[in-house]
Amino acid sequence: MKASRIAAVGIVVGAVAWVASGHLMPHESSESRAAIRPNTAEPKLFRVAVIETKLAPHARRLVLSGRTEADKKVTITARTGGVLTEMRVRRGMHVKKGDVIAVLSDDAREAQVAQATALYHQRKTELEARRKLIEQGSLPKLEAVNLEAQYKSAEAALAAAVAERDRGVLRAPWDGIITNHSEVGGASLAMQGAPVAQMVSLDPMLAVVEVSERRLRGLKVGDEAEVRLVTGQTATGRIRYIAPSASDTTRTYRVDIEIKNPDGAIPDGITAEVSIPMAPVPASRVPRSALTFSSSGDLGVRMVNGGAKVDFVPVSVVEDDQGHMWVSGIPDGARVIVQGQDFVREGQQVVAVPAEVAVGSAR
């Protein structure tokens, strides 16, 4: 029994000694040496895809929303008293300059013309007859002055009577379309200036836009513009008028583009989009996705410089061309980051590969 206890104690002591030997005198192995050796390998650099940009003159286009507007609109009014006895046009009718629109009642205007005509001929005959007597010395020369005055007065009265008669006939001031008119029987006896008809001229047609003060620079009268209507129609015109002063409410300037419309296909008051080419400026074409913001909130692009470090370049948008943007501020031949630009920062060392290679390796 005593011998078995001694053997058990010996086994325990041997096991403890073996475990202690591993802690007190550790055996050095290749794995342990690798674990305690300091890591001297360089960190792996981030890989970005870049494109090389080219600086080239780009003709910008100023795109604005507006509306069409008839070049001329007029309300034809009665210039004398009377009753509307005849309306010779209807709504939508095309008329030529000088065509009769409406006729007012005569109200003795024709009789006044006849009376003035008779008096005119009388004064003219008297003047011619007595002028011979004056030349012969039978009548004083002062009589010639009186006769001349009476003749001129009769001539003026006849002209006034004819003008009053003509006021009863309303005519079109220019070629156009009747848009509205009064009904026969309407009286304008008590109020001269009562509206009788309205007409509009559709040729030429105007496309009217409002331009902000920041975009006004570079526009000039005579510049060509393209007009696209909401109906899908397109037309080409030229700037005819640029307002010299801004609107008090919107602080914008009115710009009129004149469009030829001989067939009247372009209606008045329809929504239109006007595209005006601007003077070309040096710009670079980059993908829309390449634009990013710096830590300070500036819009720009990140590019890789000659030392493979990341730089940020602020840009100004010249034109939005659907999937791409034309921007200014990028040096010619710069390597702009188009993939990975949001995962790097200025001054960071990167590995730059062409965008085509990056796309190919991803596939």
> CB–CB of 82/107 below 8 Å?
yes
Structure tokens at 230: 């909401």
Nearest Cα residue to 224 out of 172, 262, 279: 279
- Predicted pLDDT of residue 150: 83
Higher pLDDT: 360 or 201? It is 201
In this prediction, residues 102-116 reach a mean pLDDT of 80
3-class DSSP state of 114: helix
Q: How far apart are CA 118 and CA 160, in angstroms?
A: 14
- Predicted pLDDT of residue 190: 46
Structure tokens at 287: 């993908």
pTM comes to 0.58
> CB–CB of 320/283 below 8 Å?
no
Residue 113: enclosing H or E segment and its boundaries?
Answer: helix 109-136
- pLDDT for 76-101, tens place per residue? 888 777 778 888 888 888 889 888 88
- pLDDT for 147-199, tens place per residue? 788 888 888 888 888 887 878 888 888 888 888 777 776 554 444 667 888 89
> CB–CB of 142/124 below 8 Å?
no
The answer, yes or no, to whether residue 103 has pLDDT greater than 50, is yes
Residue type, 74: V
The answer, yes or no, to whether residue 224 has pLDDT greater than 70, is yes
Going by the DSSP 8-state scheme, the letter that residue 121 receives in this structure is H
Do β-strands 224-229 and 234-242 pair in parallel, antiparallel, or remain unpaired?
Answer: antiparallel
